[in-house]
Structure 1
Amino acid sequence: MNQATRSQPTSGLPSFRIRHLSEAEIETVVTSAGGTRAHPDADRRNLRGADFVLGSSVIELKILEDEGLDKPERQQKLAKLFRERFPARPTVVLDRGLLDAQGQRTYDRIVEGPVKTAVSSARQQLQQSRLEYTATSTVLWVINNGYSSLSHSALMELVARRARNDSSDIDAVVVSGAYFYSDTFDSFFLWPIDCTSIHPDKPFQDFEALRDAWNEFAMDRMTALLREPAASEETKGPVVDISFQLEGVTYVMPAPPMGRESGFFTNGRPRNNSTGITSSPPVATIFAGLSHQEWTEFKRHHTHVVSSADYNEWKMKEALASSKCNLKPFITIPVTYAGWWEWARNQPQETRVSVHRYANDLFQQKILGVIDGARERTDDSVFPRRYMLLITEEIGQDLAFDVSHLAEVWVLPDGSDHIDEVWTNKPMFFEQALTITAAEAIARGVECVFWEKDKTYAWN
């Protein structure tokens, strides 16, 4: 089991960092709202009580400091849950919405561990302080400091559900946090705070005052950040993808999209590339295809170029190469003696002017033409009778998470499509997959390539 990893910053540009929220800072928020410490002598008390009193309510503060997906046992449970439903995927997105009702309940039980602990602890503390202050309502305030794989809305639902299920001593829950999103040029800061009533007959009457104080605190924090960026100690960077691997499968919680297209990065926000692939690797095995007439021409003028006693032997070499090649597809490129001779005369003297090298050069020209001619499939596209269709799912901030699928499509006389799946669920980003698609198109004699990008989980 690998430790959960986080995507790295997506470019070399400097990025803001923000300080973690501290209990001392939260106390200033409560004080600004008109509240106070519930038990200033808490360190000398035997009984554990709540943290604050605001109006007629007592408030217990719980700060979630750790990322829940860092826990190996939680990773294993999530992997088992999603792998059962997506057994063939090389990358599995940990999206609760992909699960059925039973799966969602299981998912919640897995990720809610820190929340369940917080609710259990708060229940006893609020119960004690309610007795001492004769409070009309008890409030659990949860602040998300580090559980970044839980969005604000998801955390709100978890806290409210656990409070309803686990305790009759919590009348309302408040959830807040500081969320920072950045592409290293644009930065967005969100400081949400929301309240949900657990027992409507015992409302948190001073929530508006608390929210106003929280918003004022957020403004002060942002002003200070712009004046003097936070040092690296006790700080956090922007929300990023969180991933882990188990048995060769990558499980990823993508960072939320930033909302609108970038006005700076005209080709889309930059993404990481942890694949190590920076140039096109070999995508096919190329063999020079000679007709009997062309083979005869080679034997007449340059017998050393085609090392075979007769044409049948040449074809046997082609069949053997096709059966033993490790890199598919195997592509025969038609070669003429006249074309080879013109090419060979223009090569540097030290170049090995083999017929297969010439075939490879022809293939390079052909594949570049196919790639350049590839078009996005849209509602307005006009399709030929036969074409290759590449679909790439862009997932999160790292090209390594992307998944591609390839099919050959035949448009039938009645207008329907016959789809021949070539391969599916391959861990390939778009540019890598497009090159391989072009090679398949050449191998199959298909002239047109169309592509789609599924941006359901795309970051940019």
Structure 2
Amino acid sequence: MEYLKISKLTEADFEDIFVRIGGSRYSPDHSREKTLNCDFKFRNALVELKLIDEEPAEKVTKQEKLAQIFERTAKTVVIDPYRLSKQDQTKYYRIIETPIKNALKTASKQLKTSACGDANIIKIAIIVNNGLSLMLPEEFDEVALKCARNDTSGIDVLIVCGLYFYCDRFDSFTFLNFEKHYLRKKAEDIVDIIHEEWAKFITEFMTRQLHEDNQPRDKEPLKDISFMLDDVLYVKPPPKWGKPSTFWRGGIRPREDSTGYTKCPPIASVLPTFESKAYDIAKASIFDDWRLRGSLTDYKNWQQKEVLQHINSLRPLVPVEIPADLASAKSYKDLTQIAIDIFHTRIRQLIEKSSEYSDQHQSLDYILLSSIEIGLDKANDIAFISHEMEFPGIEKSLTFIDGERLKFEHALGLAAAHCVRVGANCIYYEKDETYKWV
């Protein structure tokens, strides 16, 4: 099932609001487009509407600037301004505030021109977040207010609105806000009337979205905002719902998976290895016995060189011992397949017995998988895999995977492969769901 879409807010919607409260267009015909003037008039107020649909993260120049202020510690970087220093937060909002700043500067000029210097006119700017998903409601309000105060002189009252639509294919809800800021003049009576009619309009608007098929469906629900630079994925996760699903089992909403993997991809290359008896049986049975070298010592030396040269933590070379009772085969290829079958059995057992890490864990020799789940799509997730040895006096940690983009299931398979490779006892995992879509 596809995600439900709703309509974006339009200038015609606000025209309807002003007509219903006794207001009108500032200019009744299309001549308003040819001169610098505002959109609406109501009592002694002039109103300019600005709908913000631009998403700064879609522009390469903005992407490059954003990438400079977020530390690249892994293959996925979360765009979270609250993790930044105050200095970098300022830089962040300067980068993404451009459409808001420009819109309010223009609105200020239009209102000043339309007012013609009349001091009795209340100049109102309404700015609406209609599609800038990089900002949450409180962020958009704060940035709009800052821009209106610092970069304009022709706005007496600023009204900040937004349409934020959530959907998980079955549940959906819409958050719409209306924030009023009196910058240079008070106009509570006028603003309250606009606010009351806005509330009525929103009720009617949502009723149409739910029951009428002929509505334009041009606004998607909040999703991950992401871009790729230098093989690093930058992601702004959507806001969390803040409540469990009323449809999905256990109240847990499913996530998207754009990795393209319907089953675990290859996680290792396997080499057969032997003890003395099994080696003798294998060498005597296969037709291409030269593949086992001249002796067991020669074969193990060659195998060790292969392992050292095969530096690929995402698909390690794993020697798997074949017992004597399985060592008889027709070819080296058959021996390799026997080793692969043994390997598959071991990793299945390791995965089935894997458990969540806790301070009370029992093993002193284990693989630790740390998975950070990010946003709506599993393709955003990153993993860290290490070999932890906690024997008294010889405590050691060796990192195999360091912040690679891997969904949990794939990472768990890799953790099992490394567990077999180094001979660790078990796998523990931990999940960080701070930025997970729930």
- For normalisation by structure 1, the TM-score amounts to 0.85
Please point out which of 419, 424, 433 is paired with 1:441.
419
Matching residue of 1:359: 339
Q: Are 1:270 and 2:270 an aligned pair?
A: no
Code of the residue aligned with 2:179 in structure 1: it is D
Whether contact under 8 Å (2:286, 2:331) holds in the other structure is no
- For normalisation by structure 2, the TM-score amounts to 0.89
Matching residue of 1:146: 131
Query: 1:256: Cα distance to partner?
Result: 1.8
Matching residue of 1:212: 196
Runs (5+) with no aligned partner, structure 1:
1-12, 345-349
CA 1:288/1:61 → structure 2, altered by over 3 Å: closer, same or farther? same
Code of the residue aligned with 1:387 in structure 2: it is Y
Whether contact under 8 Å (2:288, 2:332) holds in the other structure is no
What is the Cα-based RMSD across aligned positions, in Å? Answer: 2.9
CA distance in 2, matches of 1:186, 1:366: 41
Query: 1:320: Cα distance to partner?
Result: 4.1
CA distance in 2, matches of 1:41, 1:96: 44
User: How do 1:310-459 residues align onto structure 2 when only pairs under 5 Å count?
Assistant: 310-325=295-310, 327=312, 328-340=315-327, 354-378=334-358, 381-411=360-390, 419-459=397-437
CA 1:204/1:127 → structure 2, altered by over 3 Å: closer, same or farther? farther
CA 1:305/1:62 → structure 2, altered by over 3 Å: closer, same or farther? same
Of 444-453 and 44-53, more deviation after overlay is shown by 44-53
Report Cα offsets for 1:76-111 as digits up to 9, x if no partner. Answer: 2222332xxx13432222221122111111111111
Query: 1:136: Cα distance to partner?
Result: 5.8
Matching residue of 1:284: 268
Matching residue of 1:253: 236
Code of the residue aligned with 2:133 in structure 1: it is S
CA distance in 2, matches of 1:215, 1:324: 68
Aligned residues: 433
State the secondary structure of the residue aligned to 2:280: helix
Matching residue of 1:24: 12
Report Cα offsets for 1:22-50 as digits up to 9, x if no partner. Answer: 21210221233443334446726986333
Q: Are 1:294 and 2:282 an aligned pair?
A: no
CA 1:133/1:351 → structure 2, altered by over 3 Å: closer, same or farther? farther
Whether contact under 8 Å (1:17, 1:230) holds in the other structure is no
Report Cα offsets for 1:237-256 as digits up to 9, x if no partner. Answer: 21222222222222222222
CA distance in 1, matches of 2:2, 2:33: 47
Give identity over the alignment, percent.
Answer: 30
CA distance in 1, matches of 2:356, 2:317: 27
CA 1:323/1:410 → structure 2, altered by over 3 Å: closer, same or farther? closer
Query: 1:374: Cα distance to partner?
Result: 1.1
User: How do 1:68-87 residues align onto structure 2 when only pairs under 5 Å count?
Assistant: 68-82=56-70, 86-87=71-72
Whether contact under 8 Å (2:5, 2:217) holds in the other structure is no
Query: 1:403: Cα distance to partner?
Result: 1.1
Report Cα offsets for 1:120-174 as digits up to 9, x if no partner. Answer: 1111222234446643642211012222322222111111001111123322211
CA 1:419/1:322 → structure 2, altered by over 3 Å: closer, same or farther? closer
Whether contact under 8 Å (2:288, 2:331) holds in the other structure is no
Query: 1:439: Cα distance to partner?
Result: 0.9
CA 1:303/1:225 → structure 2, altered by over 3 Å: closer, same or farther? closer
Matching residue of 2:175: 190
Code of the residue aligned with 1:260 in structure 2: it is K
Whether contact under 8 Å (1:141, 1:175) holds in the other structure is yes
Whether contact under 8 Å (2:286, 2:332) holds in the other structure is no
Runs (5+) with no aligned partner, structure 2:
none
Whether contact under 8 Å (1:298, 1:305) holds in the other structure is no
User: How do 1:3-82 residues align onto structure 2 when only pairs under 5 Å count?
Assistant: 13-40=1-28, 43=31, 48-82=36-70
Code of the residue aligned with 2:337 in structure 1: it is R
Report Cα offsets for 1:329-356 as digits up to 9, x if no partner. Answer: 3322222222445xx7xxxxx9997222
